[in-house]
Amino acid sequence: MALVTTAEVCDTNPQLIVSGELRALQPIFQVYGRRQIFSGPVVTLKAYEDNVLIREFLEEKGDGRVLVVDGGGSLRCAILGGNPVVRAQNNGWAGIVVNGCIRDVDEINGCDIGVRALASHPMKANRKGVGEKHVPITVGGTRISDGEWLYADTDGILISRTEASV
């Protein structure tokens, strides 16, 4: 599979930008993991300061999908750590985008997976299992629905209603 850059997607699909079918997330995310460029169909999750549902998702086969977690932008604890990211890598997830914090950065940076998050934080999240799966979320100023496509590289993150052509 050829790697597609976000700039290429934007440059070859200006009509999708105008129509709103192709949107860019605000440039608020830090780059983690060894996979700088990744893309795939989106799976959405809303989980505020709780990592149980995140861990459950990443135990599943990823099949090249990207987990997008709306953590409410919390900077009070990490909702994703090294162990689930290793599992995600081994289970075939293309990437994980977290509107919140991560921890175990050195371990995550050793994984062949793309991870984006607001920041790192040493404190771990709650484990109550509270959250919502497969719901529309708003992350980085952009509405994201389950099944849309995400494209990420060092320039930023794009969301497309369908798989974009370049």
Per the annotation, binding residues are 81-84, 103-104
5: part of which helix (H) or strand (E)? Answer: none
SS3 for 164? coil
Query: Annotated binding site for substrate, which residues?
Result: 81-84, 103
Q: Is the distance from CB of 165 to CB of 12 less than 8 angstroms?
A: yes
DSSP letter, residue 89: H
Q: Is the distance from CB of 68 to CB of 152 less than 8 angstroms?
A: no
DSSP letter, residue 33: S
| CA 103, chain centre distance (Å) | 15
Residue 162 has, within 13 A of its CA and on its CB side, a CA count of 5
Task: Return d(Cα 35, Cα 45) in angstroms, integer.
Answer: 22
